[in-house]
Structure 1
Amino acid sequence: MVDSLRDQLLKSGIVKQLKDEKRQQQPAPKPNAAFAGGKPPHKPPHQPKPARSGEIDLAKAYAIRAQTEAQERKRAEQEAAELARIKRERKAKVQQLLEGQALNKADVDQVRHFEYGGKIRRVHVDTHQLADLNAGKLGVVQNAGRYVLVTQAVAEQVREVDPHLVALLVNPAAVGVDEDGIPDDLMW
């Protein structure tokens, strides 16, 4: 069986020799009148020092910090839950507004491009819808990843609920229209 290094040193006597040498180097304690029997007097158990005003011990500081962090996490979770609830309510209201209001047609021959979310998007329209869309009589609303063609009134109602969902609503007063009925801002 293999002995540990400590066991080997104890068996060889080197450790004992080192302890003896240290004892010889230290001066012997002077006899004191208080140690009459050779034993030190009985000391009362250790009492913690009273904390100075303004100081708190480390354990209390960690407990306060943990409690504060827990409160902050709880508050952040509550805020996130509230934002999610508001978003769900808006989505449901927009869905209700768009129900039965979509003017998209399956067999159309033209595409209207527009910028939304930093990218060029498109909606398929017929000739009459294209003219109305460019004149501001129709609008485009994003719903569930699709672009829905709706009347201007519905687009305005959606804008009141959530303005980010209105993908295209031309304001004819703000944009000039050329002879083809295409707004000037679309010339690329």
Structure 2
Amino acid sequence: MSSLRDQLLKAGLVTEEQVKKAETKPKPSGKPRKNNKNKSKPQTGQTQSAAKAKKRELTDLERFYKERDSTEKAEKEEQDRQRKEAARVRKQNRAKIGALIRNNMQNDEAAELRYNFVVGSSVKYLFVTEAQQELLSAGKLAIAFLGEKRCLIAPEVADQILEIEPSRIIIRFEPDSE
């Protein structure tokens, strides 16, 4: 029976040089090796530098994640602040517009003429007097909404409302200038 060395040489898995090198290596002593599960320090200089590099990369990665998290948190706080500020401004504008309409409303509770007008694709109406109907047709009155209520207001007040909130619905009849 041939030895393992001869079999490996015949198979071409090792060379003569490798065999000689293996034979000159000191054989391990019969002492059992300690099994260190907590290998905190690498054995060689090369593995120590690799471990330090790995530790530095983890630190850099952790720093990156912390910076990213703090940046995301700051952006979210800024968005929340802007959203709250916008809500505060909208509420303040609604209050100003409501006060303008209430203080300048020219509706007459005794009005009996139905005045129809179009908002989007629906037809709305408002009861007006004969004089108010003529003023609406001449463009000297406008219609604004205060909640669900339709209110007659002066065109100057309508302009003030549109300055505060340009998207506000104001109905005006513009007479043809011929």
Fold similarity call, TM over 0.5: yes
1: CA distance, partners of 2:104 / 2:152: 8
The answer on 1:135 being equivalent to 2:138 is yes
Amino acid corresponding to residue 171 of structure 1 in structure 2: E
Q: Which residue of 2 is the match for residue 33 of structure 1?
A: 26
Q: Say which SS state the counterpart of residue 124 (structure 2) adopts.
A: strand
2: CA distance, partners of 1:44 / 1:33: 27
Change (3 A) 1:67 1:117: farther
Change (3 A) 1:62 1:116: farther
Deviations 1:130-188 (A, max 9, x none): 121121000011223322111122222222222333420222246x7xxxxxxxxxxxx
Q: Which residue of 2 is the match for residue 146 of structure 1?
A: 149
Q: TM-score, with normalisation over the residues of structure 1? A: 0.60
Instruction: Give the total of aligned pairs.
Output: 144
Q: Say which SS state the counterpart of residue 143 (structure 2) adopts.
A: strand
Cα deviation for residue 49 of structure 1 reads 4.3
Amino acid corresponding to residue 115 of structure 1 in structure 2: V
Change (3 A) 1:172 1:67: same
Q: Which moved more, 1:88-97 or 1:76-85?
A: 88-97
Higher alpha-carbon Rg: 2
Q: Say which SS state the counterpart of residue 104 (structure 2) adopts.
A: coil
Q: Which residue of 1 is the match for residue 160 of structure 2?
A: 157
Q: Which residue of 1 is the match for residue 41 of structure 2?
A: 45
2: CA distance, partners of 1:171 / 1:34: 108
Q: Say which SS state the counterpart of residue 96 (structure 1) adopts.
A: helix
- From 110, 123, 141, the equivalent of 2:126 is 123
Amino acid corresponding to residue 29 of structure 2 in structure 1: A
Q: Conserved in 1, the CA contact under 8 Å of 2:158 and 2:170?
A: no
The answer on 1:85 being equivalent to 2:81 is no
Gaps of at least 5 residues in structure 1 are 1-29, 177-188
Larger fraction in helix: 2
Q: Which residue of 1 is the match for residue 16 of structure 2?
A: none
- From 169, 174, 181, the equivalent of 2:172 is 169
Q: Which moved more, 1:99-108 or 1:60-69?
A: 60-69
The answer on 1:99 being equivalent to 2:102 is yes
Cα deviation for residue 37 of structure 1 reads 5.7
Cα deviation for residue 61 of structure 1 reads 4.6
Q: TM-score, with normalisation over the residues of structure 2? A: 0.63
2: CA distance, partners of 1:56 / 1:132: 74
- From 47, 54, 69, the equivalent of 1:66 is 69
| Percent of aligned positions that are identical | 23
